Structure 1
Amino acid sequence: MADIVQINDTTWRIEDNGVRFFLLAGTDKALLIDSGMNTPNAKDIAEGITKLPIMLLNTHADPDHISGNGSFDYFYMHPDEEDNYRAHGGLGTIVPVKDNDVIDLGSRPLKIIFIPGHTPGSIAILDINNRVLISGDTVQDGNICMFREGRNLLTYVKSLKKLSMFTDDFDTIYPSHGSFPVSPELIERLIEGAEQIMSGTVKGKIIDIFDTSAMLYKFPYAGFICDIPE
């Protein structure tokens, strides 16, 4: 069962067995950011928190972020993520968002930042007035999935470097996995770790995950699960 944790008067996180998603309220409407792994009732959960009209935005379309999408006739997602969404059986109408778009909930503007790499259409959301970055899976201190089709470590590093250009605009990061919250300083550490993996200067260990083998590179601040080098 999901646990609802109130962050402040207009922000909640919903903890769903290792993944979290968020509800943000403005003066006019509210936005779910992702819909969980085991929460097909994500919309009902949100409606139990606020009486505002509720929209849905997905940071990306891995299965642990879309379980409640089916309750929405339409939702926001980057168009480069549609193939990933449909491959996991996702239904409904995608309203595309792109880099630098702003969704305003009423006195609460949210800026879309396109950060591919973890998946082709991953995005982050900058809660401008509250100086918070909601990072999806891209920035976290858990094990970041970078193996199998659709993952690109070089693109991921470029996206992290892009996020580092926004660090004057946020004070804290709300990730979908791992510790909550995390510091913006984690971005530079993740860049360093990913670059060490690409340069072959760090050793990993083979693990079994999702009925396959992958390489885990573990750092003090996070881990990366990558394809086994050929």
Structure 2
Amino acid sequence: MKPEEQPRYFAVEVTTDTYLIGCESGDHSGDWGRSLDYGSPTGNSWLIKGRDKAILIDSAAPTEGVRAFAERVANLPVMLVLSHAHPDHIYRLKEFDEFWIHPADEGLLRGQYGFPAYPDIPKTVHYLEEGDVLDIGNGHKLEVHHVPGHTDGSILLLDPMKKSLFSSDTIARRLLYGLGEWVPLDRFIQDLRRIRLLDFDYLYSCHDRPAISKKFIDYMIESLKELPNVDKTVSILGMEFLHLVRGNELEEAYFDFVVPLRKREECIDSLAKV
């Protein structure tokens, strides 16, 4: 590739001082383009600008320069907060001097559960847990909510001032579930219902660019209840997964859920408690 052909970062202000940080292409997903419509999965970071600093949620594209780009957009120091530590959310972690993460996910950076260890982990690590608050100035605070299932330490960030929830891969139209410590689906659904009670209007995930309405959580829960009737399977990472798909990928009402096939009976038993 010539330099001018390198995939480029771009920013879209989705609400005041809140930006989608996208990239025109990824590594395994081909050409992501700049479309903000529903469709194939993309890799998104989210930048929330305060008075004193800004928070960047995840480094979700392999292209170098995300830190410099985010700092240019915010014109402020930028904190990198990892929603979780799967490889597609930590691409440019090494560009930062420090970062914030739930302690239960730090092991993923070092190769836990068979994931590749991340080289050049910054030495300064800050831990975030349920109930923590990140103050970015002038009373603008983001609340940390821990919902395990996608990973052990998956977190969501609530911005009460903007009534926005940054839900990463936990509340999302596509969910890979159960590759860490097992969380029964009835407990996961309880967590979803707890999050549903929070005061927000829209949620922003890491693999869809549009704002997703709060009512999607209800659709997600109802979709999970269909799992006992699913026989479709798919092979991922050399493992067999039960594969639930509902809806149209070009519309908000779409849910693609995979869980290890060996967990099928446990899923059915736990859903019977819902």
TM-score if structure 1 supplies the norm length?
Answer: 0.89
Where does structure 2 lack aligned partners over 5 or more consecutive residues? Answer: 1-6, 27-41, 248-253, 265-274
Partner AA of 1:6 in structure 2: E
The answer on 1:145 being equivalent to 2:152 is no
Match of residue 73, structure 2, among 45, 49, 56: 49
Partner AA of 2:20 in structure 1: R
Q: 1: CA distance between counterparts of 2:219 and 2:166?
A: 18
Name which of structure 1's ranges 147-156 and 127-136 shifts more when overlaid on structure 2: 147-156
Q: How does 1:21-170 map to 2 (within 5 A)?
A: 21-87=45-111, 88-90=116-118, 91-92=121-122, 93-107=124-138, 108-141=140-173, 143-150=174-181, 152-154=183-185, 155-166=187-198, 169-170=199-200
Max radius of gyration: which structure? 2
- 8 Å CA contact 1:99, 1:113 repeated in 2: yes
The answer on 1:7 being equivalent to 2:39 is no
What is the deviation of 1:9? 4.1
Q: 1: CA distance between counterparts of 2:43 and 2:181?
A: 20
Instruction: Summarize deviations over 1:43-98 as a string: whole Å, max 9, x none.
Output: 12212212211111111111111111111121111111111222242312320111
TM-score if structure 2 supplies the norm length?
Answer: 0.75
Q: 2: CA distance between counterparts of 1:217 and 1:204?
A: 8
Give RMSD over aligned pairs.
Answer: 1.9
Match of residue 244, structure 2, among 210, 213, 217: 217
Where does structure 1 lack aligned partners over 5 or more consecutive residues? Answer: none
Percent identity over the alignment is 29
Secondary structure, aligned partner of 1:222: strand
Change (3 A) 1:35 1:47: same
Q: 2: CA distance between counterparts of 1:50 and 1:14?
A: 11
Q: 2: CA distance between counterparts of 1:21 and 1:210?
A: 24
The answer on 1:207 being equivalent to 2:221 is no
Name which of structure 1's ranges 144-153 and 57-66 shifts more when overlaid on structure 2: 144-153
Aligned residue number for residue 181 of structure 1? 211
- 8 Å CA contact 1:204, 1:218 repeated in 2: no
Q: How many residues align?
A: 224
Instruction: Summarize deviations over 1:181-204 as a string: whole Å, max 9, x none.
Output: 11111112212222332xx2x214
